[in-house]
Structure 1
Amino acid sequence: MHIGIIEDHQLVRDSFKKLLELQPDWKVIIEACSVNEAKLAVELEQPDIFIVDISLNGKETGLTFLSYLFEHFPNIKTIVASMHDHEPYVSNALRLGALGYVSKRSASEELIDAVKSVALGKRYISEDVNFALTTESSALTLLTNREIEALPLFSKGLNAKQVAQALGIMPKAAHVHKANIYTKLNVTTSFELLKIAIDVGVIQLDELT
Structure 2
Amino acid sequence: MIRVGIVDDHAVVRAGLRQFLADHVDLRVSGEAADGAQAMELVRQGETDVLLMDLSMPDQSGVDAMQAIKKRYPDLAVLILSGFPEAHYAANLLRLGASGYLNKECEPEEIVRAIRQVSLGRKYISQGVAALLAEGVAGGLERPPHELLSEREFQVFLRLAKGETVGAMAEAMFLSVKTVSTYRTRVLEKLKLTSNSDLTYYALTNGLIQ
| TM-score normalised by structure 1 residue count | 0.63
SS of 2:105 mapped into structure 1: helix
Question: What is the CA deviation profile of residues 112-152 of structure 1, one whole-angstrom value per residue up to 9, with x for unaligned ones?
Answer: 0111111222222333444555733xx4xxxxxxxxxxxxx
Are 2:48 and 1:41 equivalent residues in the alignment? no
Check conservation: 1:67, 1:96, Cα contact below 8 A.
Answer: yes
Aligned to 2:121: 121
SS of 2:86 mapped into structure 1: coil
Q: Structure 1's 109 and 198: CA in aligned 2 closer, same or farther, altered over 3 A? A: same
Check conservation: 1:81, 1:101, Cα contact below 8 A.
Answer: yes
In structure 2, runs of 5+ residues without a counterpart are 154-183, 190-210
Check conservation: 2:51, 2:78, Cα contact below 8 A.
Answer: yes
SS of 1:51 mapped into structure 2: strand
SS of 1:106 mapped into structure 2: coil
What is the percentage of aligned positions where both structures have the same residue? 26
Are 2:150 and 1:202 equivalent residues in the alignment? yes
Equivalent-residue separation in structure 2 for 1:107 and 1:34 (angstroms): 25
Aligned to 2:63: 63
Check conservation: 1:30, 1:38, Cα contact below 8 A.
Answer: no
Are 2:99 and 1:99 equivalent residues in the alignment? yes
AA matched with 1:22: D
Equivalent-residue separation in structure 2 for 1:30 and 1:23 (angstroms): 16
For 1:72-151, list aligned pairs within 5 A: 72-130=72-130, 135-136=135-136, 139=137
Aligned to 1:22: 23
Check conservation: 1:85, 1:132, Cα contact below 8 A.
Answer: no
Cα-Cα RMSD: 2.7
Aligned to 1:189: none
| TM-score normalised by structure 2 residue count | 0.63
Are 2:38 and 1:13 equivalent residues in the alignment? no
Equivalent-residue separation in structure 1 for 2:52 and 2:90 (angstroms): 14
AA matched with 1:109: E
SS of 1:114 mapped into structure 2: helix
Q: Structure 1's 200 and 115: CA in aligned 2 closer, same or farther, altered over 3 A? A: farther
Greater shift in the superposed pair: 37-46 or 109-118: 37-46
SS of 1:27 mapped into structure 2: strand
SS of 2:74 mapped into structure 1: coil
